[in-house]
Structure 1
Amino acid sequence: MSHIYIVSPSSAVRDKPAFRRGVARLKALGHAVELDPAARTHHQRFAGDDETRLAALARAAASGADVVLISRGGYGLTRLLERLPYKAIARSIAQGCRWVGLSDFTALQLALLAKTGATTWAGPAVGEDFGAEVEADGSPDMIMEACFDDLLEGHGEGAGWRLPAADLQAQPALADWMTPEATLWGGNLSVLCSLVGTPYLPAVQGGILFVEDVGEHPYRVERMFTQLLHAGVLGQQKAIVLGAFSGYKLVPGYDRGFGMPAVVSWLRSQLKVPVLTGLPFGHVPTKVLLPVGQTVRLVVQGRDAMLLWAHGHDHDQED
């Protein structure tokens, strides 16, 4: 049994039934679930004003929990970056707490990595994932739950997926390929781009950058990649790995074939480093958990891609 502390650092919980289902599911799995006192607070569109959410993060860091898990993403963490309790969060991680989330949580993850070198986990949220009714019996996605269990039990040592055939057709050298050890980093593309030019974007060179997004038309995705390209971020990596880009609609008769495959093709034409797709991560039910800031290897054998990491190799953290 693990002690899970649930915090709302960004937008207010809107789907309350899903949130309740998520909490109930975690309890049914045998975990001790503790809700932060402000987890269901609502101020404007946020889960409390800035001071309330900062205090909630400080309580999470001091909770002694095995896992700090976000209720949902949304927006709000970039407002807090100057005042986040970085040292307290990094200290809790050094003591064994895993901080898990996605979407707007990317801002905290990357800022924490830039400021302290601490490793967090890109993974599920309470409402969106544990509260989702995906399987035939109304339970959440089994792969997501299995990956979360591996994290809690200390068994997770990597994540694998099947590459689309188009990846190898466009990049034949990938069929038998491996990177040297590299820092895995990234998250939500929109949030990552919002950190360019700030002290909260990690200066990772020779890393493996993974990104995903939701509700962004491919032309906006391409525009964000262009920003990262011009800022020199993409060309400094060993590989770019694309997760799910979901929740957008093409315009019939107007886009005329300009979709995500066209964006990926253009991106590959601009870079000398490999661009892999199909990573099961993002605003989709099936998602793996990924250690943001940890040293990994990216291995491709045929169409099988694997991100591999070992325990005990997190970056050093400040006291």
Structure 2
Amino acid sequence: MDRRTFVKASTLGMLVSQSSLVSAATASHTSTPSVFPKRLKQGDTVALVAPAGALDQKVELDIAIESFQALGLKVKVGKHVLDRDGYFAGTDKNRAADINDAFADKNVNGIIALRGGWGCNRILPFLDFATIKKNPKVLLGYSDITTLLNGLYQHTGLVSFHGPVGISYWGQDQAQQMRRMIFDGGKFTIENQPDKDQNALTQRRNRIQTINSGSAEGRLVGGNLTVLTSLVGTPYLPDMQGKILFIEDVSESIYRIDRYLSTLQLAGKLEQLAGIAFGQCADCNPEKGYGGFTLLQIFEHYFKPLGIPAFMGGQFGHVRDNNILPLGVKVRIDADKGSLTLLESPVT
């Protein structure tokens, strides 16, 4: 083979190889049809799993069990829930095994993460996506569980629920939301509750601040901003085209929120969205002194130019009254009211 022929052949091979890589990357980030889990009912069994951080005390598990029993559910505890491996609730493979086993178990109807923390990214390579797709079930959690909700949606289409974990505060408001959404499969509007301070002359907590007015429709994806951004460049981040993105965070400096949004922008994700809802950023205080930005200023920098409906102040995130949001469900965002309306039932 002469030099010119060799160069042509090599160039063609490189183009084919690059084309294959681009196709593979595109395929891993294309939309997957939503798969809806069966609704829960009284007497169903839910499995408690610990896919991330270790429990601090066994009493936390006891409280979680009693909370779901009070909802009329039976509880099965994952085999490795009380394991410990550094700051994780067991090894990566064992934490993943509890999730795989729960989806494969015909006697389990739903799966609830006991807590977040850190660690769900590490178990993604050990999840049995084929079995999970064949056995769609309710999956509930938030914070670090953002990884599971979005990774499973991207690979299986599973509709899941961003909401209180097992060790979260479970009161009547949370119980009512769970019954209304996951037991009854209702289509309704998710919005902030009125301020419970009867002496206040106006709403003080959970106030909506509109960044861009208007409404739009799309499927809901998102979760904790820090965790979601950690999935950029991986095959576990959902396709963002035409989606409504909801995000929240906790104990982050404003400059870090800026950094995460910059990452999503540079990756071309923000410009694909149809709408944005930001919930609560608990303990995210503005930098003191000259030159600091507020959260609103950061959001305006990234969201204003997009021209899509966007608001901040939604009642979801690391707060006691954490609204449940169904990931993968078609919703309508109203940025002026700060609401998300379910356009389809999240369960079958």
Regarding TM over 0.5, the answer is yes
How far apart in 2 are the matches of 1:250 and 1:76? 28
Query: Is residue 186–residue 210 contact of structure 1 (8 Å, CA) maintained in 2?
Result: yes
Query: Is residue 253–residue 287 contact of structure 2 (8 Å, CA) maintained in 1?
Result: no
- For residues 234-273 of structure 1, give each alpha carbon's deviation from its aligned partner in whole angstroms, at most 9, with x where no partner exists: 11101011011113344443564x2222222222334222
Larger radius of gyration: 2
Which residue does the alignment assign to 1:66? 109
Normalised by the size of structure 1, how large is the TM-score? 0.84
Query: Is residue 311–residue 338 contact of structure 2 (8 Å, CA) maintained in 1?
Result: no
- Which residues of structure 2 form unaligned runs of 5+? 1-41, 193-205
Q: Which amino acid letter does the alignment assign opposite residue 288 of structure 1?
A: N
What does residue range 172-191 of structure 1 map to in structure 2 within 5 Å? 174=213, 177-180=214-217, 182-191=218-227
- For residues 42-88 of structure 1, give each alpha carbon's deviation from its aligned partner in whole angstroms, at most 9, with x where no partner exists: 11111110121121111111223221000101111111222211121
How far apart in 1 are the matches of 2:347 and 2:331? 9
CA 1:15 to 1:221, structure 2 compared with 1: closer, same or farther past 3 Å?
Answer: farther
The CA RMSD measured in Å over matched residues stands at 2.2
CA 1:312 to 1:113, structure 2 compared with 1: closer, same or farther past 3 Å?
Answer: closer
Query: Is residue 208 from structure 1 mapped to residue 240 from structure 2 by the alignment?
Result: no
- Indicate which of 171, 182, 186 corresponds to 1:141: 171
Query: Is residue 183–residue 204 contact of structure 1 (8 Å, CA) maintained in 2?
Result: no
Query: Is residue 298–residue 308 contact of structure 1 (8 Å, CA) maintained in 2?
Result: no
What does residue range 252-291 of structure 1 map to in structure 2 within 5 Å? 252-253=288-289, 256=292, 258-291=293-326
What does residue range 18-29 of structure 1 map to in structure 2 within 5 Å? 18-29=60-71
Match of 2:112, SS? strand
Match of 1:126, SS? coil
Match of 2:64, SS? helix
Query: Is residue 153 from structure 1 mapped to residue 183 from structure 2 by the alignment?
Result: yes
Count of paired positions: 292
Query: Is residue 294–residue 313 contact of structure 1 (8 Å, CA) maintained in 2?
Result: no
How far apart in 2 are the matches of 1:292 and 1:31? 23
Deviation at 1:34, TM superposition (A): 1.0
How far apart in 1 are the matches of 2:340 and 2:219? 15
Normalised by the size of structure 2, how large is the TM-score? 0.77
Q: Which amino acid letter does the alignment assign opposite residue 32 of structure 1?
A: K
Deviation at 1:198, TM superposition (A): 1.1
Which residue does the alignment assign to 1:135? none
Which residue does the alignment assign to 1:11? 53
How far apart in 2 are the matches of 1:248 and 1:312? 31
- For residues 102-151 of structure 1, give each alpha carbon's deviation from its aligned partner in whole angstroms, at most 9, with x where no partner exists: 11111112111221222111111011x2xx3xxxxxxx333222111223
How far apart in 2 are the matches of 1:191 and 1:75? 9
How far apart in 2 are the matches of 1:207 and 1:61? 27
How far apart in 1 are the matches of 2:208 and 2:221? 25
Query: Is residue 254–residue 287 contact of structure 2 (8 Å, CA) maintained in 1?
Result: no
